Structure 1
Amino acid sequence: MPTFAHGAVELAYIDEGEGEPILLVHGFGSNVAVNWVGPGWVETLKRAGRRVIALDNRGHGGSTKLYAPADYHTSLMAGDAAALLDHLGIVRAPVMGYSMGARISAFLALQRPDLVEAVVLGGLGIHLVDGVGLPTTIADAMEAPALADVTDPLGRMFRAFADQTGADRRALAACIRGSRQILSAEEVGRIGQPALIAVGTRDRIAGAPGPLAALMPDAGVLDIPDRDHNPAVGDKVFKQGVLAFLTRRGL
């Protein structure tokens, strides 16, 4: 993966395909390969005639690892995503994020409305407003001596995944502690771009999509049937719904 510098942070990214660009922002503990390549998103979007751009968020994948929670404020990570589009000379594009990446995408839509043509928030509903994302017990799980020492089920799941992918667990612990910002209902109401809120019907992490969409001037809901938080990422209903949204809106 190529990299570029945003201040002191080196960010790895992909830029593949031809056509109208779309930026993808992955979730906590994941990376471009796991969130977007493996589940088939990159190929799906390329086949649909899209130029696909995606970055490894700071602390993840091939990007710089930082160990102070303050370095993972959601506004800073939104700034990384904006810097990538600026680096590539992209004036305006739809942005799609999943889970933490959806939170980053919402902040980006507010911070740089000039860049964000539309926004897809996957795996994040009303908890953008009334919740701070994943619990801090996940940070404790990352710092535990071994997986066997983790008893919290959610923490154990994320720790096992981090061990499997060889992630920097100390960086992930800092990230989960530092990226716990919400938006107010008034701020969400200023996200005026076309928006799609896509959440699995069995997702207990995201929060309900309908109440979030109701706060936005131009948002719709996509229910991903019978999917929990992680399995919803690569679901065909999700892919079909996003492609239909982009086509319907002429994006």
Structure 2
Amino acid sequence: MPTFASFDGLTLNYTIWEGTAEAPPVVLQHGFAADTNANWMGPGVVKALRTAGLTVISLDARGHGRSAKPHDAASYGEDTMARDVQALFDELGLDEVSLVGYSMGAVIALVVAGRDPRVRRLAIGGVGSGVIDCGGVDTRVVTREAISTALLADDPAQAPAEGAAFRALADGLGADRKALAAVASAIQTQVVDLDAVTVPALVLAGDADPLAAEPHRLAAALSDARLQLVPGDHLTAVMAPEFSRTLAAFVTENRI
């Protein structure tokens, strides 16, 4: 798998599938504790985009997947991870992209879309009114402390209920729990400036996802956005066929 040095020298891993369509490549940023395989390949998202002929690029965020995994919180944060995405654009010489993010990746994608003109279309999943009311991850549903405690607990049965799903995902993927706890500790508030996001956007939300509550409010807060509800909760919505189908249709609307 190819790697590159990000803006601060940290080594990050990415995957690229070359397409044939005359359309901007689609860049994918996964959610917390997941990786390219778990968030995009397993659920069929990459397959749907490739079937549409698109070039697909997926970044393993720092602390995740095959990318470097520092254990200090200072190495993380939404702004830092947004700069990683922009560094990937630079590395690959991308002039325009459709950017897709899920959960943590959606917050990162919103930050990037608000400041990088190379983003021409934006799709975000796994988030809702928390972006408006909390400025990013919905800390009314799960706090960074609960996630960190769950990840660092010696016995997963002792993990706080709020963070139990993330602990289970991390264990299932064999992730570096200390690195993920550092990522969680660096979660910030009020990092997203929705007024700065002016590109066409798609909000994808599971109808039983507490972290994507009131997604209509988020869609309404963006200048040019539409909403698509799909079946599922935070971990399963991305697996719904409607998710991949709607996403593929959205990013292929304005082919060159």
Shift of 1:149: 2.4
| Distance of 2:73 and 2:213 partners within structure 1 | 24
Shift of 1:157: 2.1
**Does structure 1 residue 148 correspond to structure 2 residue 153?**
no
Shift of 1:247: 3.1
**Does structure 1 residue 233 correspond to structure 2 residue 238?**
yes
**Does structure 1 residue 129 correspond to structure 2 residue 129?**
no
**Does structure 1 residue 22 correspond to structure 2 residue 26?**
yes
Deviations 1:177-225 (A, max 9, x none): 11233346xx202210000111011111123111111111111111113
**Alignment match, 1:196:** 202
Q: Output the amino acid matched with 2:3.
A: T
| Distance of 1:126 and 1:118 partners within structure 2 | 20
Q: Which moved more, 1:175-184 or 1:189-198?
A: 175-184
Contact 1:74–1:181 under 8 Å retained in 2 = no
Structure 1 segment 1-251 matched on structure 2, within 5 A: 1-6=1-6, 7-18=8-19, 19=21, 20=23, 21-112=25-116, 114-131=117-134, 132-133=136-137, 134-136=142-144, 137-150=146-159, 152-183=160-191, 187-225=193-231, 227-250=232-255
Q: Output the amino acid matched with 1:157.
A: A
| Distance of 2:128 and 2:168 partners within structure 1 | 26
Q: Secondary structure at the match of 2:32?
A: coil
TM normalised by structure 2 equals 0.91
| Distance of 2:154 and 2:99 partners within structure 1 | 37
Change (3 A) 1:111 1:179: farther
Which ranges of structure 2 fall in alignment gaps of 5 or more residues?
Answer: none
Q: Secondary structure at the match of 1:28?
A: coil
Contact 1:188–1:216 under 8 Å retained in 2 = yes
Q: Output the amino acid matched with 1:228.
A: D
Change (3 A) 1:198 1:214: same
Q: Output the amino acid matched with 1:220.
A: R
| Distance of 1:241 and 1:207 partners within structure 2 | 19
| Distance of 1:207 and 1:71 partners within structure 2 | 29
RMSD over aligned CA atoms reads 1.5
Q: Output the amino acid matched with 2:201.
A: A
Deviations 1:59-100 (A, max 9, x none): 001111122223211011011011111111111101000000
Contact 2:78–2:191 under 8 Å retained in 1 = no
| Distance of 1:13 and 1:246 partners within structure 2 | 20
Q: Output the amino acid matched with 2:4.
A: F
Contact 1:22–1:53 under 8 Å retained in 2 = yes
Which ranges of structure 1 fall in alignment gaps of 5 or more residues?
Answer: none
| Distance of 2:175 and 2:103 partners within structure 1 | 18
| Distance of 2:63 and 2:187 partners within structure 1 | 12
Contact 1:4–1:11 under 8 Å retained in 2 = yes
Shift of 1:166: 1.3
